[in-house]
Amino acid sequence: MEKAQYLRLLYQMLLIRRFEEKCAEMYAKTNIRGFLHLYIGEEAVAVGVTQALAGDDYVLATYREHGHALARGMDAGAIMAEMYGKQEGCSRGRGGSMHLFDGQKLCGGNAIVAGHLSMAVGMALAAKKQQQNRIACCFFGEGAAAEGEFHEAMNLAALWQVPVLFVCENNYYAMGTALRFSHAVQELEKKGPAYGIETAVADGMDVLAVERAAREAVEKVRAAGKPYFLVCNTYRFRAHSMFDAELYRDKSEVEEWKKRDPIPRLSDFLLTKKVITEQDIEDLENRVAAEVQKAVDFAEGGTWEPVEQLTKFVYSSD
């Protein structure tokens, strides 16, 4: 792998991390409202998987999707402005943190758990019918795998043989309910073969491992036009949402997982192999800090949509 590609991975993960730390601050200061779900700790999954996708592939994510939006190259300013509720936001401020959209890069920001899995199947079906080379990539948490929608979507995708990549971001907690309390079979990778879907597992704390697994998966999906199930085991370092006392897990468990933080893991690896220098990392940090600041400035300089436009975007003719 080229140094530039390594730096790209590191840069994207750092950008997500610092951007979200700023989000937490802006939430505490009431500039961001509603629910705010941070992806901190899980960056390797979105960054690793999106490396394998083409620009015109469909990407659908959950309400914990800031990382996916940034990894797909959406503008940090437009995302921050969305969280501020400003009309310069990527969804014109209508969606907020849970509903980031970009016509080309990201189909949400979906906050009904597992609701977007069958939509991903439908997008893949459309690509197949139109004989396009696109695939649909759908991110969801392990909590979603308990929903009927998950099982229906898996079956449909396999039945219809459509090019969809299901990426399960297993962070072990559905809100506050641990995997062992929500799944009778906790090896999520066993659920793919039950539907005849090829399945793999990746270490979701290792961006290089995720990227490798994703490239293999995407190649197969695209070549064979079949579904694929990729399970990435990962961990969120932060609470479920900002307002969460984390009564359901031990601090020691969190500390243990932090030792596997994907960002130092990659940077240490690259420093050890002398692919990059400390100076490279400092440069990246500065670049990221500037970009985050630019995003905040953009959001704060944004404007409120006039209240007279309240009923816009209900019908396409409006």
Partner 1 sequence: MIEFRMPSLGADMEAGTLREWKVKPGDTVERGDIIADVETMKGIIEIEVFDAGVVEQLLVKEDEKVPVGTVMALIRPAGETAAPKPAERHVYETFKSIVNVKEEIPPVPAPAHEGLRASPLARRIAAENHLDLTTVQGSGEGGAITREDVEKAIAERDIRLKPRPAEPAPTPAASTENIRMAVAAAMSKSNREIPHYYLETSIDMSKALAWLAGANRQRPVAKRLLPVVLLIKATAKALREFPDLNAVWENGLQRKAEINIGFVISLRTGGLIVPAIRNADKKSPDDLMETLTDLIPRARALKLRSSELSESTITLTSLGDDGADAVFGVIYPPQVAIVGFGGIREQPVAENGLIGVRPVLRATLAGDHRATDGLTGSRFLAALQQLLQQPETL
Partner 2 sequence: MGDKTGILITYREALKQALREALLSDERVFLLGEDVGRYGGAFAVSKGLLQEFGPERIMDVPLSESGFTGAGIGAALAGMRPIVEVMTVNFSLLAMDQIVNNAATLLHMSGGQLNVPVVIRMGCGIGRQLAAQHSHSWEPLYAHIPGLIVLSVGTHEDARGMLLSALKSPDPVVIFEYTYMLNLEKEIPADAGAVDITRAKVRREGRDISIITYGAGVYKALDAAAELAAAGIEAEVLDLRVLRPLDEASVIASVAKTHRALVVEEAWRSGGIAAEISARIMEKAFYELDAPVQRLCGVEVPIPYPKHLEDASVPQIADIVNAVKKMIKP
CB 226 within 8 A of CB 186: no
DSSP state of 306: P
Least distance (Å) from partner 1 to the CB of residue 300? 5
Q: Is 94 in the site for partner 2 (CB under 8 A)?
A: yes
Which one of residues 48, 67, 77, 95 is an interface residue with partner 2 (CB under 8 A)?
A: 95
314 binds, among partner 1, partner 2, none (CB under 5 to 8 A by kind): partner 2
The kind and range of the H/E element at 222 are helix 207-224
CB 205 within 8 A of CB 261: yes
Instruction: Find tokens 């998966």 and name the residue.
Output: 217
Residues 191-210 that bind partner 1 (CB under 8 A): none
56 binds, among partner 2, partner 1, none (CB under 5 to 8 A by kind): none
**Residue 253 or 300 with smaller CB distance to partner 1:** 300
**Assigned token pair, 158:** 């396999």
Q: Is 251 in the site for partner 2 (CB under 8 A)?
A: no
Which one of residues 1, 3, 224, 248 is an interface residue with partner 2 (CB under 8 A)?
A: 248
Q: Is 178 in the site for partner 2 (CB under 8 A)?
A: yes
CA gap 178, 258 in Å, rounded: 18
CA gap 68, 306 in Å, rounded: 30
CA gap 282, 259 in Å, rounded: 21
**Residue 78 or 125 with smaller CB distance to partner 1:** 78
Going by their DSSP bridges, the two strands 58-60 and 198-203 should be labelled as unpaired
Residues 228-257 that bind partner 1 (CB under 8 A): 239, 241-247
Coil, strand or helix: which one is 170? strand
21 binds, among partner 2, partner 1, none (CB under 5 to 8 A by kind): partner 1
Q: Is 119 in the site for partner 2 (CB under 8 A)?
A: no
CB 90 within 8 A of CB 69: yes
Amino acid at 93: G
Least distance (Å) from partner 2 to the CB of residue 126? 23
Q: Give contact residues for partner 1 (rule: CB under 8 A).
A: 21, 24-25, 27-31, 33-35, 239, 241-247, 289, 293, 296, 300, 304, 307-308, 310-311
